Amino acid sequence: MSFCSKILVPMMALIGLGTATAGSPAGRITSVVRTNARTGKLVRAVVVTPPADAGNSNEAESARHDLRSIVQETASRHDVDPLLVDSVIQAESGYNALAVSSKGAEGLMQLIPATARRFGVKNTFDPRENVEGGVRYLKFLKDAFKDERLALAAYNAGERAVVKYGWIPPYRETRDYVRKVGKRYSEARKVSAAAPSVSQPSVAAPEQPQYRPIEQFVDAEGRLHIRTR
């Protein structure tokens, strides 16, 4: 076997294995190997496809409710609008806790390994850990740039890119991302503001008991007498 053949055979085997699929309780996991157009290197991506009946099952509905409860609690604790976090998750993963991008971002809020480590996330596929790390990162960006649009741009393209350009970087992906998340967030806020507020039922004050007036007097012998009228 020639030297070239020794190289090509393992590569072809690798590419062949790249389209393998495996079953998962959360759906179908597909591993795909592609060639990076810029570097020419092979890049492995993992795609998770939810099962066809997931949207109709009680378990899936309950899971979505649990995820939104995690978002609500975590965002409120870090003083970040839950509607903003929800909009980011919708754009990043569509609430797929097992999502993996071609760039290696993982989980609900699509944390890259470096960001996950930076914010103490050990398991990016654990929804609570992932949201905790993602919300803390979003909070950091909001505080750093003092502008939600720049925070979103940094979440997508990285802080250095925003600092370098002093505004939203001129990357089509980043500008589309900021526009998409911003639109979703704006619409969510309008819906929330238009929703009727749940007023607390008025509670009548307890009726005060009526007491007969009291009068007192001292008789001729100096004794005190107290009686009701």
Of 109, 103, 115, 185, nearest to 149 (Cα)? 185
Length reported for the chain: 229
Domain count across the chain: 2
67 and 140 housed in the same domain: yes
Check residue 96 and give its pLDDT: 95
Predicted pLDDT at 196 = 76
Residue (of 207, 108, 28, 175) closest to 116 by Cα position: 108
pLDDT at 227: 60
pTM, full prediction? 0.63
Angle formed by the axes of helices 148-157 and 82-92, nearest 10°: 30
**Tokens of residue 145, six digits:** 């740039």
- Domain membership of residue 216 (yes or no) is no
Selected catalytic residue, list 92, 106, 129, 132: 92
Q: Do 28 and 115 sit in the same domain of this protein?
A: no
The whole-angstrom separation of Cα 90 and Cα 27 is: 18
- Closest C-alpha to 86, from 135, 39, 53: 135
pLDDT of residue 107: 97
Q: Helices (H) and strands (E) in the chain — how many of each?
A: 8, 5
Question: What pLDDT sits at residue 35?
Answer: 59
Enclosing domain of residue 30: 11-49
- What is the CATH number for 109? 1.10.530.10
User: CB neighbours of 185 closer than 8 A, spacing ≥ 6?
Assistant: 81, 83, 84, 87, 148
Tokens linked to 229: 């009228």
Mean pLDDT by 10-residue block, N- to C-terminus, for the chain (229 residues)?
A: 44 39 45 56 53 55 82 96 97 96 95 96 97 98 96 97 96 98 96 75 54 60 62
Type of residue numbered 88: V
pLDDT of residue 195: 80
The pLDDT score that the predictor gives to residue 102 is 92
Q: Are residues 35 and 57 in the same domain?
A: no
Same domain, 74 and 107: yes
User: Would you say residue 225 lies in a domain?
Assistant: no
- The pLDDT value given to residue 42: 58
Backbone phi, then psi, for 29, in 5-degree steps? -100, 120
Q: Is 132 a catalytic residue?
A: no
Residue 186 contacts by C-beta under 8 Å, 6 or more apart in sequence? none
Whether residues 136 and 94 share a domain: the answer is yes
- In terms of domains, do 42 and 61 share one? no
Considering the domain boundaries, does residue 111 fall inside one?
yes
pLDDT of residue 11: 42
Residues 18, 72, single domain; the answer is no
The per-residue pLDDT for 65 is: 77
